[in-house]
Chains A and B, each alone.
Chain A
Amino acid sequence: MMFDTSHAQNMDAPPIRRPYAARARVKCQAEKVTAEAGEDWTAHLLAVRDRQDRVAFAALFQHFAPRVKGFLVKSGTSPALAEECAQDVMATLWQKAQLFDPERASVATWVFTIARNRRIDMARRAARPEPEDLPWGPEAEPDQHAALELAQETALLGDALARLPQAQRALIEKAFYGDLSHSEISEQTGLPMGTVKSRIRLALDKLRQSFEGARG
């Protein structure tokens, strides 16, 4: 049986590895820098979205294009093709900037989803049906605080990933590089993902409420 009725509990549970959480508090200063860097990418992408800012885009390219390339190479793509695809992914980032919602994803998360979809296209593994998006309501008030918190929580997740024992981290990386089948992927990551989930859930609820308010 693969029923998982306990997921909500697992996802919202405090970090299992208490020693990491304790160390995370000590490293608070370092994390603040990471989180601010995350918030900074959001501001860069919003500048691209709102005024086609090429300087902001260049900074995004310098940071993310090498990471997309590395991600694709580790997924088994040749370096030459990965280079070309990284350019393509970054061009998509520019083209789809209007769709970016900082309350629902950090820039790193969003770049990842574009790179992942590009990898699926390349492998011609399968078409990828996407979930229905929530209908757009009236222009919601941009909540910079919520977006910043999501960026910070995402950065904390990255920090926790960096602190995992090497063997456990390697398994998670393999899962995302496509080296593990779904039955080989473990149920538990040992990472504090519940906070990110709760933050995204709040954003979804707000979006749905604003839509239903407009309709009713």
Chain B
Amino acid sequence: MTTTIRHHISDRLLMAYAAGTLPEAFNLVLATHLSLCDDCRARLGAYEALGGQVLERSDMAMAEGGLAACMARIEGLAPVARPQPRPARGVFPAPLAEYVGGGPDKVKWRPLGMGVRQAILPTSRGATARLLYIPAGQAVPDHGHRGTELTLVLQGAFADSTDRFGRGDLEIADEDLEHTPIAEAGEDCICLAATDAPLRFNALIPRLLQPVFRI
């Protein structure tokens, strides 16, 4: 499953994720991709190693008695054991399943028209995360972006002017991309998407509906 992923996290985003400076909605999309992709997981490990080396260079003297105070904290702590193996995963990897409370059947979908459905996930300000359900063969309204939009495919596949994206593939779109993703025939497509700015629809009607649907 992991070998078929062709579209990965960019170095820029992966370093920001390792540094822990991204908004929650982006963290959720990237953590979900990382759950499916050993290659990005290994690259993340390299960026975290870099963070470790930055930390090594950040020496600043501690006050007296720090160790004793730390040992006092430890007395009250129960050790954390190794996690047990998790059951085989479904469509949603663990980080996403925790937000939704389960799989696709637990999502509170709202219709967007033409069979397309979405659900906004609760995340902190700064970026928005949402799940999209696109019936096989159906297009998502033509749109551009002001900021960065991340789209991760969890089921089925979609194609736009740039390429084809299947399960685990991550599309990173910035404001230069105007695209009309179309779900592939066959299986209905489920995506997890995050934006750090509202989408820019090219047709009037979706633009008017934008405040209503918070997209």
Contacts and interface: CB of A to CB of B under 8 A. Distances in A.
A binds B: yes
Interface of A: 1-5, 7-8, 10-11, 54, 58, 61-62, 65-71, 73-74, 79, 82-83, 86-88, 90-91, 94-99, 104-106, 108-113, 115-117, 119-120, 125-133, 135-137, 154, 157-158, 161-162, 172-173, 175-178, 180-183, 185-189, 191, 193-194, 196-198, 200-201, 204-205, 208, 211
Contacts of B19: 116, 175-176, 178, 185
A24 to B, nearest CB: 14
Given A108-B55, A108-B56, A125-B124, A61 B63 contact: no
Contact of A126 (B18, B24, B32, B63): B24
Given A71-B55, A86-B66, A109-B45, 9 more contacts: A3-B172, A91-B74, A98-B82, A129-B24, A154-B49, A176-B50, A181-B16, A185-B16, A193-B43
Contacts of B11: 4, 7, 10-11, 187-189
12 contacts: A58-B67, A69-B62, A71-B54, A109-B48, A116-B19, A116-B20, A135-B85, A162-B57, A173-B54, A175-B15, A182-B26, A182-B148
B123 interface: yes
Given A1-B177, A66-B59, A95-B74, A126 B54 contact: no
Contact of A106 (B7, B10, B52, B99): B52
A88 B73 contact: yes
Contact of A1 (B15, B21, B79, B176): B176
- Majority-rule SS of A interface residues: helix
B204 interface: no
B16 A175 contact: yes
B4 interface: no
Most chain B CB inside 10 Å of its own CB: which residue of A157, A194, A200: A200
Contact of B27 (A73, A126, A157): A126
A157 B48 contact: no
B54 A211 contact: no
A66 B70 CA distance: 13
A198 to B, nearest CB: 7
Interface residues of B, number: 80
Q: Which 9 pairs across A and B sit closest by C-beta, in order of nearness? A: A126-B24, A70-B60, A70-B58, A109-B52, A108-B52, A182-B16, A131-B34, A158-B53, A200-B45
B43 A197 contact: yes
Contacts of B12: 2, 4, 182-183, 185-187
B93 interface: yes
Contacts of A180: 21
A10 B176 CA distance: 24
Contact of A201 (B38, B59, B66, B86): B38
A132 B86 contact: yes
Contacts of B20: 116-117, 119-120, 128, 178
Nearest to B42: A201
A91 B73 contact: yes
Most chain B CB inside 10 Å of its own CB: which residue of A74, A131, A172: A131
Contacts of B187: none
A79 B60 CA distance: 9
B176 A198 contact: no
A111 B55 contact: yes
Contacts of B26: 182
B84 A136 contact: yes
B80 A4 contact: no
B99 A129 contact: yes
A71 to B, nearest CB: 4
A136 B83 contact: yes
A10 B10 CA distance: 11
B119 interface: no
Contact of A99 (B18, B46, B80): B80
A4 B169 CA distance: 12
A196 B16 CA distance: 18
B22 interface: yes
